[in-house]
């Protein structure tokens, strides 16, 4: 009698559990990663490519402890965004209104009545517009600290700067967003 572990089709238990955990991690972070990449690249298809590439690269880090995956993923994704910008893949479509064929970012919560959903979409559109006005480093610091809830040390490691620089970028981003959104209150 042979056990399931002796079967050639069965993978080692540790490998399977580790792969499922990394899969769950990547599935849980996908939407936020796309938003982050879209903020840096200003085009959904380029953002999807960057996120997909970052996720593929994470497969090489499968053996790392799960506690390292979050800062590692954001570092890899940020690097992919910068690479795309340097290679000139950044399209300037965001300067013109989207066509019917293009997808637009819809970050609003789908719950509530239609008028509330419209107000939510308008609110998110204003917030996204305000975020896009920020310089890249301020937008990154704000997104990683506020939306992703990373601590200052992890954000500094992801951005490749000091903790003091993260605090400065975040403070300036908050001030700028407050000015941009002043009439929105």
Domain boundaries, the chain: 11-91, 110-185
Count CA atoms within 13 Å of residue 152 on its CB side: 10
| Residues 125, 131: Cα–Cα separation, whole Å | 10
Count CA atoms within 13 Å of residue 150 on its CB side: 29
- Band of residue 57 on the pLDDT scale cut at 50, 70, 90: very high
What CATH number is given for 110-185 in this structure? 1.10.10.10
* pLDDT value, residue 87: 67
Q: What is the pLDDT of residues 124-143, one digit of tens each?
A: 788 888 888 999 999 999 98
- Band of residue 184 on the pLDDT scale cut at 50, 70, 90: low
* pLDDT value, residue 168: 96
From the number of C-beta atoms within 10 Å of its C-beta (0-12, 13-18, 19+), residue 17 rates as exposed
- Cβ atoms 144, 131 nearer than 8 A: no
Distance (Å) of CA 12 to CA 18, 22, 24, 61, 138: 10, 16, 19, 18, 44
| CA-angle at 157, arms to 153 and 167, nearest 5° | 50
* pLDDT value, residue 101: 47
Q: Which alpha helices (DSSP H) does 87-162 contain, by range?
A: 114-133, 136-142, 152-159
């Amino acid at each position: 009698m042979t056990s399931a572990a002796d079967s050639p089709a069965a993978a080692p238990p540790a490998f399977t559990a580790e792969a499922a955990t990394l899969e769950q991690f990547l599935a849980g972070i996908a939407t936020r990663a796309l938003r982050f990449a879209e903020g840096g690249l200003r085009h959904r298809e380029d953002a999807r490519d960057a996120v997909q590439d970052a996720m593929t690269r994470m497969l090489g880090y499968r053996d790392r402890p799960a506690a390292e995956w979050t800062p590692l993923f954001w570092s890899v994704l940020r690097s992919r965004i910068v690479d795309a910008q340097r290679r000139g893949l950044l399209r300037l479509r965001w300067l013109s209104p989207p066509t019917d064929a293009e997808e637009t970012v819809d970050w609003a919560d789908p719950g509530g009545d239609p008028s509330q959903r419209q107000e939510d979409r308008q609110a998110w559109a204003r917030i996204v517009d305000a975020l896009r006005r920020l310089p890249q480093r301020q937008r990154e610091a704000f997104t990683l600290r506020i939306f992703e809830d990373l601590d200052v040390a992890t954000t500094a490691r992801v951005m490749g700067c000091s903790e003091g620089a993260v605090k400065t970028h975040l403070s300036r981003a908050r001030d700028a967003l407050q000015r941009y959104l002043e009439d929105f209150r």
